[in-house]
């Protein structure tokens, strides 16, 4: 059974934090699905991941492209994940079901702490998941480094 880790982004934007978390997931040998809600935003994220430093290259692709099932990191707006991930990273308030958390090794929910509506969505996700018995951790970078602030 997996756990949900909530990442409250306040100092670094998604395009800086996501590659770091993806790198750690890949180091663990995990296949990852990154789920968003807007196809244009996923295109933007795809481009950002391609522009990263060569030594930190993250092999990835979009679910709408050929060979989606073979991608170690798959960018998608759908709830089905053809790459059979070990880890799901939810961005921009993309939905996460308790059953997914229990089936996967890890679910990461990344949300912009400078956007009050994003904070409210994340709080709602925390409540729904923990009420369903999901193990969850809340991480904040407010101090300048990532610190675990809560666990349930």
Residue 64, domain CATH: 3.40.50.10110
For residue 53, pLDDT beyond 90 = no
For the chain, what percent of residues have pLDDT higher than 70? 99
Q: 75: Cβ–Cβ under 8 A, 6 or more apart, which residues? A: 34, 36, 42, 45, 46, 49, 60, 61, 62, 63
pLDDT score, position 32: 98
pTM of the model: 0.95
Region 107-136 average pLDDT: 97
Residues forming a β-bridge with 62? 75
Q: What is the mean pLDDT of the chain?
A: 95
Q: Compute the C-alpha angle 67/70/72, nearest 5°.
A: 125
Q: Which of the four pLDDT bands, split at 50, 70 and 90, describes residue 57?
A: confident
Residue 137 has phi, psi (to 5 degrees) of: -130, 145
Instruction: Provide the domain count of the chain.
Output: 1
Region 104-109 average pLDDT: 98
Q: Cα–Cα distance between 116 and 148 in angstroms, integer?
A: 21
pLDDT score, position 56: 75
Q: Which of the four pLDDT bands, split at 50, 70 and 90, describes residue 55?
A: confident
Range of the domain at 50: 3-151
**Span 10-22, pLDDT tens digits:** 999 999 999 999 9
For 17, 65, 144, the CA distances from 147, given in Å and listed in that order, are 14, 36, 9
């Amino acid at each position: 059974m997996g756990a949900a880790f909530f990442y409250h982004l306040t100092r670094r934007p998604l395009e800086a934090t996501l590659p770091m978390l993806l790198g750690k997931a890949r180091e663990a040998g995990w296949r990852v699905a990154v789920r968003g809600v807007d196809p244009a935003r996923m295109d933007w994220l795809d481009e950002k991941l391609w522009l990263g430093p060569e030594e930190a290259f993250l092999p990835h692709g979009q679910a709408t492209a050929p060979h989606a099932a073979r991608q170690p990191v798959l960018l998608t707006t759908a709830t089905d994940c053809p790459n059979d991930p070990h880890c799901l990273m939810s961005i921009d308030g993309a939905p996460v079901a308790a059953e997914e958390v229990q089936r996967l090794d890890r679910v990461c929910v990344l949300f912009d702490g400078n956007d009050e509506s994003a904070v409210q969505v994340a709080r709602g996700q925390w409540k729904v998941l923990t009420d369903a018995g999901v193990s969850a951790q809340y991480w904040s970078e407010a101090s300048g480094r990532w610190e675990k602030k809560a666990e349930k």
